[in-house]
Structure 1
Amino acid sequence: MLRSWTSNEVVRPLVEPILHPSRWRIRALGLATAFGHPLFYFAWAKLLPQPYESLALRILVSVLGISLLVFPSLTATPPRKSAVVVFTAIFWLTLPLFFAWMYFCNGGNAVWLASFGAMFLIYYHVTDWRIATLGSASGTLLAWLAFKAFGPALPEWPDGQVATNALVLAFCWIMGLILAISSSNLRREQLNSTLATMGIMAHELRTPLATISLIGDAIRNEAAACEPEAGASLEKLADRLHATVRNMNHQIDGQITNARLMRLPTHLDVVNAADLVREAVAGYPYRTARERECVTVRVEQDFQFRGSHALFLQVIDNLLKNALRSLAAASHSSGPGDLLVLVRTSGGRGQIVVQDRGVGMDPRLRTLIFTPFFSTNRASGHGLGLAFCQRVVHSAEGTIRVQSATTQGASFTIELPVLAA
């Protein structure tokens, strides 16, 4: 019990990327870091001189802020693990390590006592409270050791200053910790409540669907006692009812899976790409025979990768659903080959490509489609599908990208590391 709680509540949040950080929030932090430090250098070195200021150090910290503005991978949503590590490292360097160093070098004066205290509140707001706690402790300790080894020679602090400053900083640290924990718990409760509501709604929808399925069975039984022509019509009606039920259950399963975006399982299977694609294509609940006929699977070179078989099955399913929806919206009628699912390898990496000749999308939409809760299908108002796909692919150390143009279809390429034979 204790081990499970520690894993779910403490360890996993430390290494799990944020669901959907705001791109503009990260850029705003980058702007504040990049331009704020030169401005404060001017203030503390020229307008209101402080005992210690370093232009080189300010420039170095400013460059770290600029990196948040110039590297798109650091603001991608959802973030990759590497981006989370870089983001965490940047703010560890620019907040606890830098501010603690300046605090010690300036003799713990009033300006840097206030700045160091404010840093705790900022740091706990910028990142997770667990990371902020570890970062504050390690950054302060490392800055103190560096100050003792390389810092400027300063007179002894006046009597009582150490105790006074420690009390003020402890208050700032405790308040930052309490506020961060309460905010984290509130966000988690809101997320759990939303996911629970989605699960209840999905479960409740299955009850009327089961009734519709029974009506379909009853119509099929009645068809056996009717004239051949009327019986055939009733059989078609029963088939349509059952197809509708299968499709709706399929949609419910998909939404429940998508609702687990924050709670993907950590176990990994050895997955055969060709078998995965064939299983997804065969199990998809097509609305018509023509819709099934337009799907073509081509295996140029099979490969194996490590990931969750069940989740990747849902990924292919989501891509098929989007492609078929795009084909249905096209002005031309779909035919064989209009939806191609290709399995191949390229440059030592495995690729699964889902390519359609549907309506495509304009460049503006291409930059947004992997954002949670965004959708190009305004009728559904739901856009978790592709965010879920990206998260699953990233969990297997892969990438997913799209090429598309208006009226020219779309091509989604999943690229994955190949297991050695």
Structure 2
Amino acid sequence: MMPTLQERWKRWQHGLVQSLLLYHGREDHATVRVLLLACIGTVGMPLYYVIWRHFFPQEYESLPLRLFGILLCALGLFARQFSRPMLNLYLLVTLSYIFPFFFTLMFLMNHASGVWRESLLIGLVVLFHFDTGLALRAYAIGTTLACAAAAALGASDMLLSRAVLQQVPIHWFTIAVLSVAKISRHVLAQEKLAGMGAGLATVAHELRTPLTSVDANVRGMLRMMADAQGESAQDRLTVIDALARIQFEVRHMNHMIDLFLLSATAVRQNLHPVETVSMETVAEAVLKRYPFSSQKQQKTVTLEVRHNFQFSGQTELAVVVLLNLLRNALRAVQRAGKGRVRIVIDGGHQPPRLLFIDTGCGIAAPQQAMIFRRFYSHPPHNGAGIGLALCKEIMGAWRARIRCVSRESAYAIFILEFPMR
């Protein structure tokens, strides 16, 4: 039976959405935005030059300005090769030139025509979908330069004309609405995380009762087995070993619940630094609190203090960060069936840093850009996907940085860099 047109349309929509999600997952979010902006600008600049020049002629057009815009957008196609500072600078220059400067200058030189009035408004909507601080800087720079250029080109009378001034409150209202909308989305995301934390707390509470009961029964059975007569020593040792293993797993689950609750509580906390924290103290506390599955696993983790350092943060949140990193490292070692974990405190480095090194399964290149995204986990169903995202959020609140360097099937190094005190 042939699928209907509606079914094919839905299938195409689903495929398109999945393709976009996969593409976004492979790249850093800022890089994706630059690439999309570059693609649209590279096509749109020459296309609309033809439209406004030949099909619906406007009073003023400028091929040199268009060509410079095309050049800027074309540079963005190489965004994957940009460093983070270069990417930020490119965004500021390109956004300042295209949306406020070019669109405002065309609006002024075409005497506030309907085409450019609407185009400028759309340009501002696109601009303020980027970071608000970046958009405000670009808006101020671009608009100022556009007004100066219009005056230099002999259109100074337009700057204070009624047609132009009546657009200013509309533009400012649009900017305010978009900024508030972004704040609302951020609040909603925080509420979702808080809800997840509350739900996790409820689940943890419900799990503790049966776990306590299992643990108590196992202890009783162990005592009975120790006193039992008439069974072979080998049988008794086998049963005792199995019961001891069950008891250990129950304790391990209780420790993991504590870890999850700690992470969930951190979601709802004020993340900003309120105290001076010693990195060595935090690392030692983490190694004491972590529920290692065995002595053998515990011995795979070593702490190396080259030079201790202090940073502005929160002790409990620092514990959350290191616990999450340690858990991920031990999982990588477990999946690989080999490897060790090294925690290196290097306060003598500039800037001071902590290295989390595991020689487990490593992280494949396509996943490296995704691991700090909220709700992403790899392999699939390997946790809720909030651990590393929370780590990055905490580090960002402390003006610190976390990044990952990895090679698949070889190693993963998480580098935590802290600002100089």
Q: CA deviation at 1:229?
A: 5.2
Q: Name which of structure 1's ranges 214-223 and 275-284 shifts more when overlaid on structure 2.
A: 214-223
Aligned equivalents of 1:72 and 1:396: distance in 2?
Answer: 27
TM-score by length of 1: 0.73
Shift in alpha-carbon separation, 1:362–1:137, aligned structure 2, 3 A = closer
The residue that corresponds to 2:44 in the other structure is 36
**What is aligned with 2:313?**
307
Q: Aligned AA for 1:282?
A: K
SS at match of 2:332: helix
TM-superposed deviation, 1:88 = 5.6
SS at match of 2:375: coil
Match of 1:254 in 2: 263
Which residue in the other structure is 1:152 paired with?
A: 153
| TM-score normalized with structure 2 length | 0.73
- Relative distance call for 1:71 and 1:131 in structure 2 (3 A) is closer
Q: Does residue 243 in structure 1 map to residue 249 in structure 2? A: no
Distance in 2 (alpha carbons) for counterparts of 1:310 and 1:341: 18
AA in 2 matched with 1:376: H
1:207 to 188, 205, 214: 205
Say if 2:256 and 2:291, in contact at 8 Å, map to a contact too: yes
Question: Residues 285 and 43 of structure 1: is their aligned pair in 2 closer, same or farther, counting only changes over 3 Å?
Answer: same
Q: Give 2:387's aligned amino acid.
A: G
CA distance change for structure 1 residues 349 and 126 in 2, over 3 Å: closer, same or farther? closer
Give the match for residue 24 of structure 1.
32
- 1:123 equivalent to 2:127? Answer yes
Contact kept, 8 Å, 1:301 with 1:343, in 2: the verdict is yes
| Structure 2 residue aligned with 1:194 | 192
Distance in 1 (CA, whole Å) between partners of 2:97 and 2:61 is 17
- Match of 2:414, SS state, is strand
Aligned twin of 2:366: 364
Of the three residues 259, 266, 275, the one matched with 2:281 is: 275
- Kept in 2, the 8 Å contact 1:216–1:239? The answer is no
Using the TM superposition, give the Cα deviation of residue 296 of structure 1 relative to its aligned residue in structure 2, in angstroms: 0.9
* Alpha-carbon distance change, 62 to 269 in structure 1, aligned in 2, over 3 angstroms: farther
Report the 3-state secondary structure (helix = DSSP H, G, I; strand = E; otherwise coil) of the residue aligned with 1:412. strand
Alpha-carbon shift at residue 316 of structure 1 (Å): 1.5
Cα separation, partners in 2 of 1:275 and 1:60, compared to 1, 3 Å? farther
Structure 2 residue matching 1:195: 3-state secondary structure: helix
Query: Taking structure 1 as reference, are residues 121 and 73 closer, same or farther at Cα in structure 2, changes over 3 Å only?
Result: same
Q: CA deviation at 1:226?
A: 4.0
* Cα displacement (A) at 1:103: 1.6
Shift of 1:139: 5.5
Q: Residue 216 of structure 2 aligns with which residue?
A: 218
Is 1:96 the counterpart of 2:121? The answer is: no
1:97 to partner: Cα distance: 3.4
Distance in 2, matches of 1:249 and 1:348, equals 35
- Equivalent residue, structure 2, for 1:405: 407
Q: 2: CA distance between counterparts of 1:117 and 1:384?
A: 37
1:52 maps to: 60
Q: Note if contact 1:219-1:235 (Cα within 8 Å) is conserved in structure 2.
A: no
Contact 1:198 1:256 in 2 (8 A): no
Q: Runs of 5+ in structure 1 lacking a partner?
A: 1-19
Q: Deviations over 1:377-405 (max 9, x none)?
A: 32335333223333333444444333333
What's the CA shift for 1:193? 4.6
Change (3 A) 1:205 1:141: same
Aligned-CA RMSD value: 4.0
Matched residue SS, 2:353: strand
